[in-house]
Chains A and B, each alone.
Chain A
Amino acid sequence: MKGLEGMKKCRKYIRLYILFQIQNIKSLAQYRTDFLMMVFFTLFSQGCNLGLIGIIYSNIPEVGGWTMWEIFLLYGFLLFSEGFINFFFQGAWKITNMIHMAELDRFLVRPVPVGLQLLTAKIDFDGLNKMVIAAAVLIVGFIRCEVRWNPVKVILFLLFLLEACVIRVCMIWIASCVSFWMEGKKNSLNYFVISLGEMAKYPLIIYPPVFQGIFGYLIPYAFVSYYPVGYLLGKAETGAGAFIIPFFCIAMLAASCLMLRAGLRNYESSNY
């Protein structure tokens, strides 16, 4: 009986999520030129980023045993998860601001979970664009790397991609939730976490052990790109890592929930 009710609740929340997002999409129609400009700038900037990797590789054959297209796959995973956050869960970025402006009060009195409302507080169409670019990079990359596909691998690939997205949403979520304990308008922590993503563009093995530890476990970027891609490409050193990812996902989801709960308990509205 309880399970059925849980499912009902789940369905309700998903429906609410979709409704909220549709509302967000409507608000975007207001800024049509902005949107077109962002499409252009995103294309341009991702082109430059890929170009940079291309230029490095025009001088050398490989980095840490990885060829150019293999690096592009890392990039594809990273970019896709970024686009995923931007499009589906951009609200995670807004927590700081909401706390500061006491906008959160509005959410607290509604009969909908605060987490759901926070996640849907904003939408960024740029994310869709990023996901398309990332998908293109991934497709071309996999063709170039001549990966031998079989049904299990396809499922694993989709699973890895999903896990990468979940891990990154949780990272930003946790970093943003720190704002509950911080005074002031700014929380640079989430920005810092995003900047660290730069590291995940290259294979983990090129970094010294200290950094490997940090990116492997403390801020688990290695599980966003390095382990999944390494596993799909059949790199020997990444086999074990790929199987820990689901546990990391669950741990991070749990941590995110706990952070929000503890944060809300600690929340005092400011006098705005």
Chain B
Amino acid sequence: MKKYLAYIRCGFLEGCAYRSTFITGMLANFIQAVVLYYVWKSIFAYQEIVNGYTWEIMRQYVFVAFLCNSVFSMGFEMNIAERIVKGDIILDLLKPLSYRGMLFFRMLGTAGMEFAVTFLLIGSIYLAVNGTRYLSGIRAILFLISLFLGMGVKFCIQYLFSLLCFYTDNSYGVTKAREILTNFFSGALIPLSMFPGVLRELVRYLPFQGIVYTPCCVFIGTFSIEECVSQILLQIVWILLLSLAGTLFGKKAFGVISMYGG
């Protein structure tokens, strides 16, 4: 465990060192959140309720979704692909600890830094827009649990995509594809319940909803408490399934590395 703690620290410091990457990424997401805020605002100026959502709920959703989405936002696919091409990846694989564990704890450290910054920013904006009237203790706790599990789901998905880099060597496309998939299907942009018929059914059976939609709904209260618990359990099931897939796929992927040097 001590080795992994060292990686958390390492990740945290890395996050601080590369803060400009994080800040630009966050700003880009933030602009998107602001745009969506005004789009929804203009929509709700015409009609009171859209698909069961009122303006009161929506304006919480936009900001909470942004918080969930920007934590753990730095994908590590690019980094891994670079290491594969350079051959440095072998150094990671040779270390006497699990490769995935190393990645996870490093990301955890970085996420800690990101979360602190984003939380302060979004927390203050949220309070300025919505005030404290919608907050409740039990939901806040469930939200944090769900957010943490959401990070787990996100990590598993990123890990699977990063393994793809072993085959493609092209990180840009893989990263883009993953970002788009998660943004679209996780509910980061609009609540999943607004999706039309077939898509709505489809996202129910995809792991992405655990990243943003589940924690958001837990927080803003569109889920009842029982629903919250069952959705959180679903997140855990997805983490287990995805990490199993990661293990199996990892075994295959590590076999295909061809070294160009190192």
Residue ranges of A at the interface with B (Cβ–Cβ < 8 Å)? 33-34, 37-38, 40-41, 44-45, 48, 51-52, 55-56, 58-64, 186, 188, 191-192, 195-196, 198-199, 201-202, 205-208, 211
Contacts and interface: CB of A to CB of B under 8 A. Distances in A.
Q: What's the dominant secondary structure at chain B's contact region?
A: helix
A182 B20 CA distance: 14
Contacts of B170: 33-34, 37
Contacts of B241: none
A88 B20 CA distance: 28
B5 interface: no
A188 B23 contact: yes
Given A34-B170, A38-B173, A206-B42, A45 B180 contact: yes
A60 B43 CA distance: 8
Most chain B Cβ neighbours within 10 Å, of A52, A56, A61, A199? A56
Contact of B189 (A52, A205, A207): A52
A195 B28 contact: yes
Nearest to A53: B39
Nearest to B53: A59
A52 B36 CA distance: 11
B120 interface: no
A216 to B, nearest CB: 15
Contacts of A58: 194, 196
Interface stretch (B44-52, B96-104, B244-252): B44-52
A48 B184 contact: yes
Contact of A195 (B20, B31, B38, B51): B31
A37 B168 contact: yes
Given A55-B199, A58-B196, 11 more contacts: A37-B170, A41-B176, A51-B184, A55-B195, A61-B46, A64-B42, A192-B24, A195-B28, A196-B31, A202-B38, A206-B39
B173 A199 contact: no
Most chain A Cβ neighbours within 10 Å, of B35, B172, B176, B196? B35
Q: What's the dominant secondary structure at chain A's contact region?
A: helix
B6 interface: no
Contacts, number: 85
Nearest to B44: A60
A56 B24 contact: no
B161 to A, nearest CB: 12
Contacts of B177: 41, 44-45
B135 interface: no
Nearest to B200: A55
B27 interface: yes
A59 B41 CA distance: 14
B184 A63 contact: no
Contacts of A59: 50-51, 194
B20 A186 contact: yes
Interface in B10-33: 20-21, 23-24, 27-28, 31-32
A271 B135 CA distance: 55
Given A34-B170, A41-B177, A55-B190, A206 B47 contact: no
Nearest to B172: A38
A205 B43 CA distance: 12
B184 A60 contact: no
Interface string B163-197: 00000101011001100100110000110001110
Given A52-B189, A60-B50, A188-B23, A198 B32 contact: yes
A202 B39 contact: yes
B31 A60 contact: no
A32 B33 CA distance: 36
B46 A60 contact: yes
Contacts of A56: 39, 43, 190, 194
Interface in B33-76: 35, 38-39, 41-43, 46-47, 50-51
B31 A198 contact: yes
Interface in B135-171: 168, 170
A202 B180 CA distance: 20
Contact of B38 (A51, A52, A206): A206
A60 B190 CA distance: 13
A198 B39 CA distance: 12
Contacts of A55: 190, 194-196, 199
A199 B43 contact: no
Interface string B210-243: 0000000000000000000000000000000000
A183 to B, nearest CB: 12
A100 B231 CA distance: 49
B256 to A, nearest CB: 15
